[in-house]
Amino acid sequence: MRITYFKRMMLCLLAVALTGCAAAPAQPETQPTAAAVETVAAEPAEPGPRYQVAWAADAVIYEVNVRQYPREGTFAAFAQHLPTLKDMGINTLWFMPIHPISETKRSGTLGSYYSITDYREVNPEFGTAEDFKALVEEAHAMGFTVMLDWVANHTGWDCPWIREHPDWYTKDENGNISDPVGMGWPDVADLDYSNQEMRAEMIACMKYWVEEYDIDGFRCDYASGVPQGFWEAARAELETVKPLLMLAEDNTLPSLLRYAFDMNYNWELYDTLREIATDRKTGYFVRNHIPRDYPDGTYRLNFLNNHDKNSWEYTILEAFGSEPLPSMWALIYTLPGTPLVYTGDEIGLDHKIAFMERDPIDWESGTRDYRPLLKKLSAIRSENTALHSGNYGGGIEYADLGNRNVLAFTRQVAGNRVTCLFNLTKRETEVDVTGLFADGQTLLLHGQADQVLEMEDTPVTLDGTVTLQPWEFWIAADEG
């Protein structure tokens, strides 16, 4: 769902008032089971130790907009494009909500994906349940993992729960079911999480997709709009089936990462990179948004675009411009966290995709083919364990080169070291890089402005005082 910057800030202020935005507590030594965490717990449960599913270590997530990706807008048509995404280095598919969309109080012609009628069915606009199951099975056979977008804060107005369980919803002062207060979402009805039966059914619906469709994880919409205790109980129950990756659409409640979620949104990094690309901040400010104090094994989703940004604010080209984009892509693939690619990013789509209408992408209308770059970056991320996420990867150590436009850092684990150098400005920059790159490091990728200059493994030759070109970047590695 779309949450404006102002609303995110207000939510954060509320979080400060209620919790002090405190760092997550130390983790106990045992993993909680579903029995240990009440399925409908009203308050946060004692968290378990932080661990990660192994496949998430080098995940590159692609946000799939089924309605708009293939011209036909169906699961079956999208399946034909899996080889293209696989070749691009994508290994994780996040599907925007696939459920039927309510007609009552619908926004637009086709409605918002986030106005859900039935959590256990698929939107007939996209095909059948059998079509989706076949798509998941094909994706798994090709080595993809699959995540569903889960909308737990509210339902559409045609959801059977409204007539069968009106007590499951928030009421206004007149006793009528209300939309979420202050959010500007009249097409949805707000769920009341003080109702324990509703909580149990919501968890059962999530579990259905893991058991019946072998789903590998969830991206949870407006996660801070649902009690933390619910998410922790949900995770404990879901993982009686299989370990999952849990992504919170949130940046306001760090406590959600203590057990319920592995990853949250790096909205602040997006905003900072956009300001750098438009010459309003220096590269130094990137350091502010790579957290060192997250709960053990958790991390952030780094992105240059997503459905909210694209449909409601900026295209990727409007946000960053063509010249900075290669360096921005290189950054989000090498900084701690997990990179995200949104539908159309790979061709530099300079079009705001309609949210409530059919607006299929014209794959011939892109401004540039970034697929070779993303393929190379995905390979670099996969082959260099220092760049992996969470506990599987290395931390980050910055090198101070005396110029705030230049960002230089090293990430290292046993047997692998990656060194990166970025000139994050539209101006030439003279800087002394003596000693930055270790002897024997191999160049993995070199680019500048709107082009990639070198994509073959060669020895690093950069040393001493050099003049970096606008948006120039270097990525090198060795065995550490």
More confident residue, 16 or 477: 477
* Residues 6+ positions from 477 with CB-CB distance below 8 Å: 380, 384, 386, 416, 417, 418, 419, 441, 442, 444
The per-residue pLDDT of the chain, averaged, comes to: 90
Q: pLDDT tens digits for 305-348?
A: 999 999 999 999 999 999 999 999 999 999 999 999 999 999 99
Cα–Cα distance for residue pair 268/272, rounded to 1 Å: 6
pLDDT surpasses 70 at 48: no
pLDDT score for 37: 35
Rg for the chain, CA atoms, rounded? 22
pLDDT surpasses 80 at 32: no
pLDDT surpasses 70 at 448: yes
Q: Average pLDDT, stretch 116-124?
A: 98
End-to-end CA distance of the chain: 43
Contacts of residues 177-185 at CB distance under 8 Å and 24 or more positions apart, as own/partner, are 179/154, 180/153, 180/154, 180/225, 182/7, 183/1, 183/3, 183/7, 185/1, 185/114, 185/154
Distances (CA, A) of 18 to 156, 222, 255, 373: 29, 18, 12, 44
pLDDT score for 440: 85
Q: pLDDT tens digits for 231-261?
A: 999 999 999 999 999 999 999 999 999 999 9
pLDDT score for 47: 54
